[in-house]
Amino acid sequence: MTQSTDLPDIHRIMNILPHRYPFLLVDRIVEFEPGVRIKGYKNVTINEPFFMGHFPGAPVMPGVLIIEAMAQTGGVLALSTREEPIGDNLIYFMGIDRARFRKPVIPGDQLLMECEVLKLRSRVCQIQARAYVDGELVAEAVLLSSLVEAAR
């Protein structure tokens, strides 16, 4: 497992992932074992732009964004594990299986995403992803993605 001083900080996350505000959904990596597993946080605040319309007066983080947060965390794992330069690759969804949402995620929650590699081949990655709030499972899915060369 990677030591805490070697964990990707937000600057490294932004070097790995192409996402930016308002779509970067990983704030911090807290555990990282290259090619095996990763844990990262998304701090959910009322300032998120999606809360203006989902749902006014009773804000709930959309399930698709919870999936995206898990996928981005898995993307840090998959792209950091490769020997090729990170900037030469992107990850695209190929499939989402067995997605389940157990509890709403609301402003003030800290979403902990845990991803474990099921398969990692040259261009395909399959990850078991789970999201927790205060130790309680709120969402899970098996994510299948493809690594592609970034357009220049």
Distances (CA, A) of 3 to 34, 43, 117: 12, 22, 19
Segment 40-58, tens digit of pLDDT: 999 999 999 999 999 989 9
The structure tokens listed for 104 are 């709403």
DSSP lists the bridge partners of residue 136 as 133
CATH superfamily of 4-149: Hotdog Thioesterase (3.10.129.10)
Q: Write 2-9 long-range contacts (CB < 8 A, 24+).
A: 2/31, 2/32, 2/33, 2/34, 4/30, 6/32, 7/31, 7/32, 8/32, 8/76, 8/80
The active-site residue, picked from 54, 82, 86, 90, is 54
Segment 86-119, tens digit of pLDDT: 667 788 999 999 999 999 999 999 999 999 999 9
Is there a catalytic annotation at residue 11?
no
